[in-house]
Amino acid sequence: MSSSSAAQSAKPPMRDALVAAAFRLFLERGYEQTTVDDIVALAGVGRRSFFRYFPSKEDVVFPDHERCLADMTAFLSVSEPGHEPVQRVCDAARLVLRMYAENPTFSVQRYRLTKQVPGLRAYELSVVWRYERALADYLRARFAGRRDGILRADVIAAAVVAAHNNALRSWLRSDGEGDAGTAVDHALGYVQSAFGQDESPRVAAPQAEDVVVVVARRDAPLWRVVQEVESALGRA
């Protein structure tokens, strides 16, 4: 209590102080070996205050996902009909990457933690699921009326999330070295190329001998190239 006055210097540090104290203890003696009482003792606050800021002990490990999810839904809600749907959800997924990239060291620490604590992994799944739901709901609205619109929305959302997480996790595994942006672009590109907008893809290949030649500038944006390839192949 005596040294607690230093911890709460500014007004909103309560939440941040709890996160900092929690992570210090989690990294030093493990998540399950750390009780909420330990955290609040180190932060110099009352136990009841912890649950005022975090609904559960797990929430302190993901302090910024609630805001990020709100950002994503806001981003998707301002979409216009001109936006290509799959492109739009890929861009929305990049918002999550940006959040991770804002605090690389914190993100890496959290990754190591969640990787080895089953309870945290389960919690992370529920977080990821909410992102996926946001993407799927957006796509469902955009695909409304289309044949198998709901199915396609759910599958594409799942694929986008999986690709994003694949790139994100390989970046986290490398201690935040390298460019996470390009890795995610590459992964999302794979998904985007797999789910074009056409419905009748490769069932009929009558002119199988035909070839198409694409010439692209090396510094061209990848998706501009993809669009060209797509239209050149007659898929647009």
Partner DNA sequence: TCTCAACTGTGCACTGAGTGCCACTGACCT
Partner DNA sequence: AGGTCAGTGGCACTCAGTGCACAGTTGAGA
Interface with a copy of itself, residue 159, by CB under 8 A? yes
| 45, interface contact from a copy of itself, DNA, none, CB < 5-8 Å by kind | DNA
What distance in Å separates the CA atoms of residue 180 and residue 33, rounded to the nearest whole number?
32
Interface with a copy of itself, residue 54, by CB under 8 A? no
Looking at residues 21 to 50 of the shown chain, list those that interact with DNA (rule: CB under 7 A).
34-37, 44-49
Grouping H, G, I as helix, E, B as strand and the rest as coil, residue 12 is coil
Grouping H, G, I as helix, E, B as strand and the rest as coil, residue 19 is helix
Q: Which residues contact 57 (CB under 8 A, 6 or more apart)?
A: 36
What distance in Å separates the CA atoms of residue 191 and residue 131, rounded to the nearest whole number?
17
Looking at residues 4 to 23 of the shown chain, list those that interact with DNA (rule: CB under 7 A).
4, 8, 12, 14
Q: Which of 42, 58, 124, 138 binds DNA (CB under 7 A)?
A: 58
| One-letter amino acid for residue 151 of the chain | L
Q: Show the binding pattern over residues 167-206: x = contacts a copy of itself (CB under 8 A), - = does not.
A: x--------------x--xxx-xxx-xxxx----xxx-xx
Neighbours of 49 (CB within 10 A): 14
Interface with a copy of itself, residue 218, by CB under 8 A? yes
* Cβ burial 75-99 (10 Å sphere, 16+ → b, else e): bbeebeeeeebbebbbbbbbbbbeb
Q: Which residues contact 55 (CB under 8 A, 6 or more apart)?
A: none
Looking at residues 73 to 132 of the shown chain, list those that interact with a copy of itself (rule: CB under 8 A).
121-123, 125-126, 129
- Which residues contribute to the site for a copy of itself (CB under 8 A)? 121-123, 125-126, 129, 148, 150-152, 154-155, 157-159, 161-163, 165-167, 182, 185-187, 189-191, 193-196, 201-203, 205-223, 225-227, 229-230, 233-236
Q: Which positions lie near DNA, rule CB under 7 A?
A: 1, 4, 8, 12, 14, 34-37, 44-49, 51-53, 55-58
